[in-house]
Structure 1
């Protein structure tokens, strides 16, 4: 079972061994959502299905939402319906990837853990690493999969609400890590949300810092040292990850697990939910 990362060679070995696999392309384009669907049609891993960030991995209305923000999580029951449609079984090894610097596939990795499915891993290096390793690709629509009867299991990861974040501001039991680019964290620019700045007390670690020059996750030892330096003595168990809309926070959460830390928490509504309530405090700089 692969539960954090899987290499191209490891995935190829599973394919050759005939292991029950579900490969999901999570590529996305925030500025042009339709582009990701076309990219999938142009090239994807053999047998892969496409997960659309807005349609499949986000709620479509308040009644179906489990969080706030620009990309609200769907309720677990709604998400489970989609998982059954794409043929998830309890013994399935899921592999998720994208062509966006591993920014978007972590969303589905986390959501599957939240739904209680442990056997899900991110393809380290994404599509570019796969093709560089000689992996085959195919084009056209996904091959239809037979729906399953998979059922939700107890959550394996924890979701934190905006009210909980507010209640624990400046408390030692909560350490916020903001995964947005530093200019957005500082409030110097804000291309997506109505207010610039960050949640008071949040530390900044842009999610791209988790990758090496080849676009793969840094070694566990390197990630451990970097997060130890960022936390500066704070309890790792206190960490709550956030970003703009709860998507790019996940690479930091995943990186901490790769580094050997226990699972940490996610504020999925993130800055886009936080800043829409003028009564919540905001910090710049």
Structure 2
């Protein structure tokens, strides 16, 4: 089952059990400790709940996790009995428990990155084992960045202040202070929704620079344009109007976009 279909199944199951309980989306979000906008994202198939949230939903409805996410596998070991060439039972159990814990606790997009990395390692292993001539596989280096899970908007704007900083590992190296995901299409074709942008803190951006800006409490990724008519936050997508800024605007420069990474 692909990820989009999985999100659709999860959304439909949440809706079914919510209506059985007779509560609104907003009330359900409060019960499981998430924001109403996050619950809306699940329903609109913009994101999937983490396994931790799925557990909370299952506990609230009094059902199994697999009743919400049909791809969920119950926590039981499928590791065969050990032989003299295998690891001791205690080590196998510890590793298995660790895998289950990571599978439940990692949130998107780190959960998908973890799965993708594991699949890459398995593909590399199978390639080596099935090859008659062993070839050294290139080692992918991952770099750790500060990460703000709240996206910078390439459209209507998203709040960035007071968002908890986390970390993310990506296979590209930039001199950046933090990474944020993009949401929206106003910077297409250069930047797409779901891309990660790397930001270097700076208050000195010049005409034509791409940056992340705070405008009346919302964070935007835009191009800064300065001309005889004034200063504007410009969208690369011609379907969006420029945002005019002046000395009376509630506006600040957060930093310059120094790089971008797109998965797949």
Q: State the TM-score, normalizing by the size of structure 2.
A: 0.27
Structure having the larger proportion of residues in strand: 2
Q: State the TM-score, normalizing by the size of structure 1.
A: 0.25
- Which of structures 1 and 2 has the bigger CA Rg? 2
Larger RCO, structure (CA 8 Å, separation 6 or more): 1
